[in-house]
Structure 1
Amino acid sequence: MTDNQYENRMDTDKMWITMGPQHPFSHGLWTLRIKADGEIVTDAEPEIGYLHRGWEKECENRTYPKIIPMADRLCYSASMTWSHVYCKVVEEALDIEVPERAQYLRVIADEICRIQSHLMWLAAVGTDLGNLTVFLWALREREFFLDLNVRLCGQRLTTNYPRIGGVRNDMPYYFERDCMRCVERFEQVGLPEILKLSTDSSPFVGRMKGIGYITAKDVANWGVTGPAMRGCGVDYDVRRDDPYDAYGELEFEVPVLNKNSTKGGDTYDRFLIRIEEMYQSCEMIRQSFKKLQSLPKEAPSRVKVPRCVPAGTHVAKIEDPRGESIMYLVSDGTDKPYRLKVRSPIFVNVSASKHMVQGVRIADIPSIMAMIDMCLGETDR
């Protein structure tokens, strides 16, 4: 057999492969169809819709307070921030100012939510990259922060703590003490132990380095936000650049990598961004408690608000653990919204997966997509 005949015999056609919705890499019910040339991905098509439940349409038939529990269900690991952004857009429509005490309580609740959300992401990354111990230890640390949610509002996941005009209740007795014990232990023991397992492991790091490069121009064209954006050199964070509630009163750093790189950031850079964000969240919680100590104990944590919202259009945004979350409200002067539109950061980030995975090997897809930190509940709605 000649060399030419051998080459022709081994030539294979490109094949479409379905990854999901049952594949563990998908982190939820969605499908990534990839076109593979051997082991190299040449094209991809993300498919969602398995969880779609008409969330935005349902909101049109409920009064404003009754939508708050529904916002919790947009993303079970970031329920606090989704309730927050909903309350924020209604507060802007009502033109009311939230009490200062409630603003700091919201910051504390949001940053606890961010830490436990990032820990769930870190646990999932552990299983995606073959390190089950990272999964177990990250979930162990997450339990401490879920316990803080229980102390604050009685719920672990669907927190239902923010309210239009403030928060549901003031922090309970000894909450500050318990929260700071948890934060200090996490900074000094919990997270460093997990990092030793992950960043000191050559196979673990090797599956992230040098793949999935994204430039600042790419994220601008695709609309990617959050840690995935900051790992590529874009220095933007809603908490700092368009502060809401008490974030403008706090001093914190926004982790950014590859500011001057033309090549952009890889998967490992996006991993490091989320790790550093957890440390910054701990610092914001610490500062917020110090600010609360200077306020009178009888300071209100909530104000009364009208039942009906004046007619008009309003937009609110916050920094969700996964990116920039936006809600667009159209009110008609009644006690129910005429239209409530959600901009999910993961809907955009998952849509960009078509471009992110082209040119990589099939085995690299779980690593690349894990750094997006998918939550399909907010994506499908």
Structure 2
Amino acid sequence: MQQKVNRLKPFFENLNFEREDNTMVVNFGPQHPSAHGQLRLILELQGEEIVKAVPSVGYLHRGMEKMGENMMYNEFLPTTDRMDYIASTSNNYGFALAVEKLLGIEAPRRAEIIRTMLLELNRIISHLFWLATHALDVGAMSIFLYAFREREFAMDLMEDYCGARLTHSAVRIGGVPLDLPASWCEDLEKFLKILSEEVDKYEGLLTENRIWRMRLENVGIITPELAKSWGCSGVALRGSGFKWDLRKEMPYGIYPELDFEIPYANTCDAYGRYKCYMQEMRESSKILRQLISMYKTSEPQLMAHAPEYISAPKEDIMTQNYSLMQHFVLVTQGMRPPKGEVYVATESPKGELGFMIVSDGSPYAYKMKLRAPSFWHTGLLEDLLPGHQLADVVTLIGNLNIVFGEIDR
């Protein structure tokens, strides 16, 4: 018990719970629905104004990094779905890309096109979820229903491809497991047409809405210096005037061939970040339309050819003895990457998602560390919240788009 008290001491050493002045200390979470997960915020209040904020994490007890060190590489891939479970494909892809760099292999062109389609579709799904829940936190009910409606259509497309709606496991180390269904591209084009019209309606409801602007404008100012000091990424960084996106600055996959813009804002407030999210959905739609054309002219190879690490196609496994034996060894004993260390960062819907893997040549990672954007953005609350009103806490937690599945790793 004494060890637990000592471990938590940094959270409380500057907080005095027995006071004789007009300030008080309250707990926000970890059960509060607007905490967007198992976040405990210890807030010191002077009336309605926040004087001090201490974010406390660790209530989810996930142990993802240790699980990654005790599971074979292919076994761990579905577990990455459960990190940012709102955008699971981005986790799958980031991990697969890191292992591929470790192995020294590349996915075929068609596989990379399909992966990027799933990534951008999942980015739209994540942004729609953010818009719906953020607006609901602020008090806008209708937009919650509308954004979830379009999100369901996008999730139908994911389900048509991989059979799952939330935790997709739609990417494999070395490529993708399936080609697109026959009419999938046509269905995607229909969805993008609907989404384009609906995003305009969302902005019609919110952008010039005086209550929405009062709640977001000049609230949650993240100065460029604050953004850099806390390691912000994604919209939290771009909303502070930095035109930084890993898809452009450190391009990977098929992104160097795509034409798209990076939305950013100079206002540094919650309203500027909202406008970035809205424009990002339009840019993802633009990317998807380009990918449809690229897909139709690509060769139908879905997995890299690397028998030492990647199983042969199912037809070969069922008809060729050597392919069957190789598949059996890979499934039961796992691949054995060369010894080495890699760090691969990708632009997830929430920011920079990085996987660091150290290999000792065994089927298990010797060391694995995950760089999740929500972790840094939660720490930012310590400097962001003081000076705001208690009602702004819910607004800013929602605006920063944090998910605790990737924080308590």
| TM-score bin, normalised by smaller chain | over 0.9
Equivalence map 1:40-189=2 (5 Å): 40-188=49-197
Q: Deviations over 1:134-159 (max 9, x none)?
A: 11111111000000100111100100
1:220 equivalenced with 2:221 (yes/no) = no
Contact 2:84 2:405 survives alignment (8 Å): yes
RMSD, matched Cα: 1.2
User: 1:335 — aligned with what?
Assistant: 363
Q: Residue 205 of structure 2: which of 185, 197, 207 is its match?
A: 197
Please state whether the residue corresponding to 2:121 is helix, strand or coil: helix
1:294, CA displacement in angstroms? 2.1
Partner residue in 2 for 1:235: 243
1:320 to 348, 371, 375: 348
Is 1:280–2:283 an aligned residue pair?
A: yes
Give 2:301's aligned residue.
Answer: 300
Give the letter for the 1:279 counterpart.
Answer: R
Question: How many pairs does the alignment contain?
Answer: 363
Letter in 2 for 1:156: R
What letter is aligned with 1:285?
A: L
Unaligned runs of 5+ in 2: 1-19, 310-334
**Paired position in structure 2 for 1:6:** none
Cα distance in 2 between the residues matched to 1:53 and 1:252: 36
Secondary structure of 1:86 counterpart:
helix
Write the deviation string for residues 265-322 of structure 1: whole angstroms up to 9, x where unpaired: 11100111111000000000111111112223xx301124412111110011100000
Equivalent position SS for 2:353:
strand
Q: Distance in 1 between matches of 2:206 and 2:21?
A: 38
Paired AA for residue 279 in structure 2: E
In structure 2, distance between residues paired with 1:107 and 1:49: 33
Deviation of 1:62 (Å): 1.1
Query: Residue 405 of structure 2 corresponds to which residue in structure 1?
Result: 377
**What SS class does the counterpart of residue 91 from structure 2 fall into?**
helix
Q: Where does structure 1 differ by over 6 angstroms across 4 or more consecutive aligned residues?
A: none
Q: 1:31 aligns with which of 37, 40, 65?
A: 40
Q: Distance in 2 between matches of 1:136 and 1:200?
A: 19
* Aligned twin of 2:388: 360
> Could you list the per-position Cα deviations for residues 102-129 of structure 1 after superposition, in whole angstroms to 9, with x for gaps in the alignment?
1111111000000000111111112111
**Cα distance in 2 between the residues matched to 1:17 and 1:271:** 29
In structure 1, how many angstroms separate the alpha carbons of the residues matched to 2:202 and 2:393?
Answer: 23
Secondary structure of 2:51's partner?
A: strand
The amino acid of 1:120's aligned partner reads F
Which of 247, 265, 268 does residue 265 from structure 1 map onto?
Answer: 268
Separation (CA, whole Å) in 2 of partners of 1:23 and 1:335 = 41
- The DSSP-based 3-state class of the residue aligned with 1:207 is helix
Q: Could you tell me how far 1:24 is from its partner in structure 2?
A: 2.4
State the alpha-carbon separation in 2 of the partners of residues 124 and 304 from structure 1: 43
Give the secondary structure class of the aligned counterpart of 1:167.
Answer: coil
- TM-score by length of structure 1 reads 0.93
SS of corresponding position for 2:240? coil
Q: CA deviation at 1:130?
A: 0.7
Q: Which residue of 2 aligns with 1:4?
A: none
Q: Say which SS state the counterpart of residue 346 (structure 2) adopts.
A: strand
Identity level (%):
35
What per-residue deviation string (whole Å, max 9, x for no partner) do you get for residues 225-257 of structure 1? 100110110110000111110001001000011
Structure 1 unmatched runs, 5+: 1-10, 259-263
Q: Distance in 2 between matches of 1:205 and 1:148?
A: 34
Kept in 1: contact 2:101–2:342 (CA 8 A) = yes
Distance 2:29 2:69 in 1: 32
Distance (Å, rounded) in 2 between the aligned partners of 1:85 and 1:200: 37
